[in-house]
Amino acid sequence: MKSHEFASLLCSRLCHDLLSPVGALNNGIELLADEHDPEMRARCLDLLAESARASANKLKFFRLAFGAAGGFADVVDTREARAAIEGLFGGDGRIQLGWMVDEPSMSKAALKVLLNLVLIAGDALVRGGSLDIGAERNGEGLDIVVRAEGSRIVLDPELKKVLVGEMSEDEVAPRAAAAWLAHALVEEGGGAIQVADGEEGILIIGASLPA
C-alpha to C-alpha distance for 202 and 207, rounded to whole angstroms = 17
C-alpha to C-alpha distance for 164 and 160, rounded to whole angstroms = 6
Query: Which residues of the chain, if any, have pLDDT below 50?
Result: 4, 71-72
- What is the structure's pLDDT at 18? 76
- What is the structure's pLDDT at 174? 81
Which domain range does residue 33 map to? 3-209
DSSP 143: E
CATH of the domain at 191: 3.30.565.10
Give the pLDDT confidence of 27-78 residue by residue, as tens digits: 878 877 787 788 888 888 888 888 888 888 988 999 899 886 554 458 899 9
DSSP 175: G
* Phi, psi of 148, rounded to the nearest 5 degrees: -110, 135
- Whole-model pTM? 0.86
Give me the number of domains the chain comprises.
1
- What is the structure's pLDDT at 24? 78
Could you give the C-alpha distances from 86 to 90, 99, 120, 200, in angstroms and in order?
A: 4, 10, 15, 25
C-alpha to C-alpha distance for 138 and 145, rounded to whole angstroms = 13
Query: How open is the CA angle 86-89-26, to the nearest 5 degrees?
Result: 110
